[in-house]
Amino acid sequence: MTKAVRATVSKKLRFEVFKRDAFTCQYCGAHPPNVLLHVDHINPVANGGKNDIDNLVTSCEPCNLGKGARLLTVVPETLAAKAAAVAEREAQLLGYQEILEAKRARIEDELWRVAEVVDPGSSKLGMSRDWTASIRRFNERLGVHAVLDAAEIARGRYPWGGKRTFLYFCGICWNLVRQADAGRGGEL
C-alpha cells in the first residue's frame, strides 16, 4: 500500500481557514494563546482528501493529533459531549418517570373515589384486592365517570354498601362493557 502524498497547505490558505473559523478549534473551542492551531483535513489525506478550503477546518494541536487520519464520523465524542448526552438522557428519564408516577397516582385516586361510593369508609379501612382490581379494570375500560355513575346507582339500590352493593355495581359495569363492545362490533 502506498502512502498518500501530502501537499503542503499554503500559509495564505491556512490563514483563510483560521480567519473563517475565528481562530478557534472547531472540535473543542480552544483558541490562542492557550493552544497552537493546526489546519485539519475533514476528509483525511490518507483517504484522498484534498487541500480545498471546504475540506479544511481549524483544529488545536491536541484535537488534530488525537483525530489522526480518521473521518469525523469515527472520532470519539468529547467528554463534555458525552456528559451533556448523559445529562439529557437523565433529564428525559426523570420527566418520563414523573409522568408515570402522576398517572399511577391518578389511577389510584380514581380507584378510591369509586371504592368510597361503593363501600363508604373503604378508603380508610381498606378493600379486598379482588374488589380494587375489578374497580381498576372497570375504570380502564369505561372511564371513571361512567364507573362512578354505576357506583351511585348501586348505592341507590343498596345504600348500606358492602358485598351486595359491590356485586350489583359489578353487574352494572359488565352490562356497560358489553354495550360498549357491541357498539365497537365486539372489538376490544
Q: Are 142 and 173 in contact (CB under 8 A)?
A: yes
Residue 42 lies in a domain: yes
Question: Closest Cα to residue 168, out of 121, 130, 120, 119?
Answer: 119
Domain count, the chain: 2
**What is d(CA 63, CA 75) in angstroms, rounded to the nearest whole number?**
10
Residue 45 lies in a domain: yes
Indicate whether 48 and 117 sit together in one domain.
no
Indicate whether 119 and 166 sit together in one domain.
yes
Indicate whether 116 and 178 sit together in one domain.
yes
Residue 149 lies in a domain: yes
Indicate whether 135 and 65 sit together in one domain.
no
Q: Using alpha carbons, list the distances in angstroms from residue 69 to 17, 52, 73.
A: 19, 17, 12
Model-level pTM?
0.52
Residue 111 lies in a domain: yes
Query: In the chain, what's the furthest Cα-to-Cα distance?
Result: 95
- 22-67 tens-digit pLDDT: 898 888 888 888 889 889 888 888 888 888 898 888 888 888 887 6
- Chosen domain end from 74, 92, 113: 74
- Chosen domain end from 59, 74, 89: 74
Which pLDDT belongs to residue 76?
53
Residue 83 lies in a domain: no
Q: What is the phi/psi pair of residue 41, to 5°? A: -85, 125
**H or E stretch at 111:** helix 79-118
Domain range for 43 is 11-74
| Upstream peptide bond of 76 is cis (omega within 30 degrees of 0) | no
Q: What is the CATH number of the domain that holds 28?
A: 1.10.30.50
**What is d(CA 39, CA 101) in angstroms, rounded to the nearest whole number?**
52
Indicate whether 21 and 63 sit together in one domain.
yes
Q: Using alpha carbons, list the distances in angstroms from residue 19 to 32, 64, 99.
A: 13, 18, 48
Q: Are 135 and 141 in contact (CB under 8 A)?
A: no
Residue 93 lies in a domain: no
The separation between the first and the last C-alpha atoms of the chain, rounded to the nearest angstrom, is 66
Residue 124 lies in a domain: yes
Task: Reply yes or no on whether the pLDDT at 108 is more than 90.
Answer: yes
Q: Are 179 and 146 in contact (CB under 8 A)?
A: no
- What percent of the chain is modeled with pLDDT above 70? 87
Pick 75 or 116 by higher pLDDT: 116
Task: Reply yes or no on whether the pLDDT at 2 is more than 80.
Answer: no
- 109-151 tens-digit pLDDT: 999 999 999 999 998 888 999 999 999 999 999 999 999 999 9
Task: Reply yes or no on whether the pLDDT at 73 is more than 90.
Answer: no
* pLDDT, mean over the chain: 86
Q: Whose grid coordinates read 372497570? A: 138
Mean pLDDT of the 15-24 span: 89
Task: Report the DSSP pairing between strands 56-60 and 37-41.
Answer: antiparallel
